[in-house]
Every structure is written in C-alpha cells, then in structure tokens.
C-alpha cells in the first residue's frame, strides 16, 4: 500500500481537515487517492459533520461512505469503547479485510486514525497497531498553541518506538498574526521531536469558508512529491 497514515497528538486537532486537504492536493497533481476512516464515532455514517462525509466533501472523494469506513458509532467516544458500549464486536481481521478491499481500488491511500496513536480502535487493535500493520509513513497533526511541543514530541517518539516511519508534523490552526509566539513552537517541535514540520495551516474560517482558504496546504507542501520520494518541502514562516 502506498500513501500516508494521518494521526494526531489528540482528538480534534485537525486530522480530518489535513487528510482531506492532502487528498485534494494529490488529486490536483493527478494522483488517484482514497481516504479511509476505520471507525467513525459521534455521527452516523452519512452525517455531514462526520469525518467520512467531511473527507468526501473537502477532499473531493467520491467513493461510497460504506467503502471508506468499516462502521460508524453513535457515541462520541474512543471507537473501542463506543463499540463495547454498543455491544458490537469488530475483529481486527474483519477491519483489515474491509480496508484491503477499499485500498485495492486506489493507487494511494490516506488513512485517518481516531484520536491519537494509543487509542483503541477495537478490542485488539489500537491506532498504532493499525499504522504498523499497513506500514504507511505517519503524518502527525498537532495544535499550534501551548502544550503542543510536549504532545508532539511524545507522539513522534512513541511512533518511532513502534517502528513507524514518521514523515513529519503538520501544525493546524496557527493564528494569523505573524508575530504571535505560537510560531516559536515550530522550531521547538523540530528540535524536540527531531522531525520536520511539513506544513503549518492557518486558523481558517469555518470549513464552509472559501475553497481558496482551504487550498493553503497546496502552496506549502507537496504531498505528491513526498509520495514519489522526491523531497519534503519544509515550510517555514
């Protein structure tokens, strides 16, 4: 499988937005791409605010939601817990078979985890376990503000301790003020985590805002060049 595994330092840090923007950028560069959310919690599969529909809408993916996600769960909890509370049993193999069927349709796959790397997806599979199984380079999405250096460095170090290849970090939600102190976190992340910050996304207007705004990623980092092994563009201020 070729592609990227997108995880984050936490839930709500911008993984879906980043995954969708990478999908869009790859498609614009002429690459065939699919996006997968193994288990979605908090919204039914077809809900417009759920990750799968956002990946389709913002990422321009046209595949059926049922192909892009094994199962959606109502409660906004870690998938492993939401599954248990719903009395649903999902085996690792069933999930991997579903992913394999979908990934066979695309030359490049983006897989979005849930929460961070240690989150249980099923009884016997964490997000990190899945990343290890699919063997894709990992992109870590992080917040821009206070606390992010520690969260990001811990996530990168844990990923490496599991043998994962960390492509880099994407920081989401940088305030527009160029002099703001949050910019100081970028070199601190690179130093503490010993990995590049690939892109910094500004704090966008709500996702319903202009497409122009959501294309900012394209100007900063070329995911297609990363996938083709050419180079990584390290975006600085």
Ligand X SMILES: Nc1ncnc2c1ncn2[C@@H]1O[C@H](COP(=O)(O)OP(=O)(O)OP(=O)(O)O)[C@@H](O)[C@H]1O
Which residue lies nearer to Mg ion by CB, 29 or 63?
63
101-103-104 Cα angle (round to 5):
65
Among candidate residues 71, 49, 68, 69, the one with its CA nearest the CA of residue 58: 49
Candidate residues 16, 103, 122, 148; the one interacting with Mg ion per rule CB under 5 A: 16
Q: Phi and psi dihedrals of 12, rounded to 5?
A: 75, 20
Beta-bridge partners for 199 = 170
Please, which residue, 145 or 231, has the CB nearer to ligand X?
145
Site for Mg ion in 49-108 (CB under 5 A): 51
**What residue 204 binds from Mg ion, ligand X, none (CB within 5 to 8 A, per partner kind)?**
ligand X
Q: Which of positions 24-53 make contact with Mg ion (CB under 5 A)? A: 51
DSSP letter for each residue of 39-88: EEESS-TT-TTSHHHHHHHHHT--S-HHHH-SEEESSSS-HHHHHHHTT-
Interface ranges with ligand X (CB under 6 A)? 8, 11-17, 51, 114-115, 172-173, 201, 203-204, 207
Chosen from ligand X, Mg ion, none, partner binding at 8 (C-beta under 5 to 8 Å by type): ligand X
Around Cβ 182, how many Cβ atoms within 10 Å? 18
Bridge partner residues of 171 (DSSP): 142, 200
Smallest gap from Cβ 179 to Mg ion, in A, equals 31
From 37, 194, 230, 236, active-site residue: 37
* Binding site partner of 13, from ligand X, Mg ion, none, Cβ cut-off 5-8 A by kind: ligand X
Q: Is 194 a catalytic residue?
A: no
Residues that bind Mg ion (CB under 5 A): 15-16, 51
Tell me the catalytic residues: 37
């Amino acid at each position: 499988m070729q592609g990227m595994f997108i995880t984050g330092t936490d839930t709500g840090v911008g993984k879906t937005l980043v995954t969708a923007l990478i999908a869009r950028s790859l498609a614009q560069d002429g690459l065939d791409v699919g996006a997968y959310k193994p288990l979605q919690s908090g919204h039914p599969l077809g809900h417009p605010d759920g990750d799968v529909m956002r990946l389709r809408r913002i990422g321009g993916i046209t595949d059926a939601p049922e192909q892009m996600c094994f199962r959606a769960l109502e409660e906004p909890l870690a998938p492993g817990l939401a599954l248990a509370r719903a009395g649903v049993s999902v085996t690792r193999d069933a999930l991997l078979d579903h992913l394999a069927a979908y990934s066979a349709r695309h030359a490049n796959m983006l897989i979005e985890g849930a929460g961070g790397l240690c989150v249980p997806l099923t009884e016997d599979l964490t997000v990190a376990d899945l990343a290890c199984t699919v063997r894709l380079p990992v992109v870590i999405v992080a917040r821009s503000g206070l606390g992010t250096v520690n969260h990001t460095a811990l996530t990168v170090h844990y990923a490496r301790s599991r043998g994962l290849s960390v492509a880099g970090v994407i920081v989401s939600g940088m305030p527009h003020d160029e002099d703001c102190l949050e910019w100081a976190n970028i070199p601190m992340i690179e130093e503490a985590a010993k990995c590049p910050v690939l892109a910094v996304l500004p704090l966008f207007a709500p996702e319903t805002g202009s497409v122009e705004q959501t294309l900012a990623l394209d100007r900063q980092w070329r995911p297609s060049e990363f996938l083709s092994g050419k180079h990584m563009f390290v975006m600085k201020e």
